Amino acid sequence: MSHLFSLSELKYENIGDVLRIEEASFENPWSKKSFLNEITQSISNNYIAKLNSIPINNIIAYISFRIVCSEMEILKIAVSKEYRRIGVATYMMDKCYEIALKKNAETAFLEVNKTNFKAINFYIKNGYERYGERAKYYKNEDALLLKKEL
């Protein structure tokens, strides 16, 4: 899959494209301010994925994660609706594990809404296991805490 996509750092000028995907993907999307805040944190890592076959406007997905000591915490991952199920989220995850391992991370954690079955399926396929539950993590909805050894 690596020839189809490329990964680069999320820059200020990409936030508009990322926000369009964010707003189409989540009921309670992050704001521009949230992304701005994230890209200025030293512990934060933010990447976009581009589809190589399209020359312009080719941002189709993004991921945000933090590394604290040996833990990688995945905060966000989303793919533009037209480009789902072609492997781009898996591609981003694999690239980001390489980055996290170089920064001495050993374990990845993430929270996912208990009713987000598509994402849960995606994480299970990518080797995550249930590690706990967080009540009312998303307003009135519970989250599963998932974990993967890198």
Q: Can you give the binding site for ligand COA, defined by CB under 6 A?
A: 25, 77-79, 84-90, 112, 116, 118-119, 121-122, 125
Q: Is 119 helix (H, G, I), strand (E, B) or coil?
A: helix
**Distance in Å, CB of 20 to ligand COA, minimum:** 13
56 to each of 23, 24, 99, 106, how far by Cα in Å?
21, 20, 26, 36
Spatial separation of the C-alpha atoms in residues 60 and 46, rounded to whole Å? 14
Angle in degrees, CA 72, 73, 74, rounded to 5: 115
48 to each of 65, 131, 144, how far by Cα in Å?
12, 28, 25
Residue whose C-beta lies closest to ligand COA: 89
**Distance in Å, CB of 25 to ligand COA, minimum:** 4
**Distance in Å, CB of 35 to ligand COA, minimum:** 15
**Distance in Å, CB of 146 to ligand COA, minimum:** 9
Spatial separation of the C-alpha atoms in residues 36 and 64, rounded to whole Å? 12
Nearer to ligand COA among residue 86 and residue 150 (C-beta): 86
